[in-house]
Each structure stands twice: as C-alpha cells, then as structure tokens.
Amino acid sequence: MWHIKIDENGNITTFAEELREIEPSLYEEVKSTKRRVSHILPKNPLKRIFFKVLRKLFGEEGKVADWTRKWKGKWIVIIDGEVKGEFESREEAIEFEKRYLFERI
C-alpha cells in the first residue's frame, strides 16, 4: 500500500522509497525535503548497539545496511524519542511506522 497525500498547492507528501517505487524518474527530479522523524531499531540492546555502529560506519545504503535490515528478532519503533511499539519483524515495524506517521500528517 502506498501512502500519498497531495495538498491544494500540489505539494506531495509520501515516503521516499515509495516515490522511488512509483516513479523512479520523478524521484530523481522532484524537489524534496527529507526529514527523519522515527527510527526502527532491534529491540535487543546488544544488537541495537551493533546496528547503530554499523550504520554509522557504513551508512544507510549498501550491502551492510541491507544485511542489517534482514536481522531476525524483535524490532522497536521510536518516534520523537518514545518507543511506540514492539514488532516481530522489521517489515511489521515499518508498516506500523508508516500508518502512524501518515495519520498525523
């Protein structure tokens, strides 16, 4: 499911990866403002430390980032510094995050 809102001025609000999926060329051309409002992290404190260190060293893209996205175990969603939920998979956490944030736009 895609999350898209268009206001009366033609401004589009969506998630970057969804825009890239819908229309890759538009994603490259569009003037956008990216803003991180949440974090999805492993619930296990030791995994969370390694996750943060690896992301700091290798960034959000690439093989290491892809590998960390596939880790097994529970995940948490942190929005505005507050844990909003615990989920069985990262994908489940992402779906919650999108629904939660999009309802508040």
- Tens digits of residue pLDDT in 61-92: 899 999 999 999 999 999 988 999 999 999 99
- Tens digits of residue pLDDT in 6-61: 778 877 676 766 666 666 666 566 656 666 778 999 999 999 999 999 999 999 88
Same domain, 10 and 41: no
Same domain, 100 and 53: yes
Neighbours of 89 (CB within 10 A): 14
Q: What pLDDT does 102 receive?
A: 79
Number of independent structural domains in the chain: 2
Instruction: Report the SS3 class of residue 40.
Output: strand
Same domain, 22 and 43: no
Tokens 């430390």 appear where? 49
Q: What pLDDT does 32 receive?
A: 60
Nearest to 42 by CA among 77, 17, 67: 77
One-letter identity of residue 63: K
Same domain, 26 and 44: no
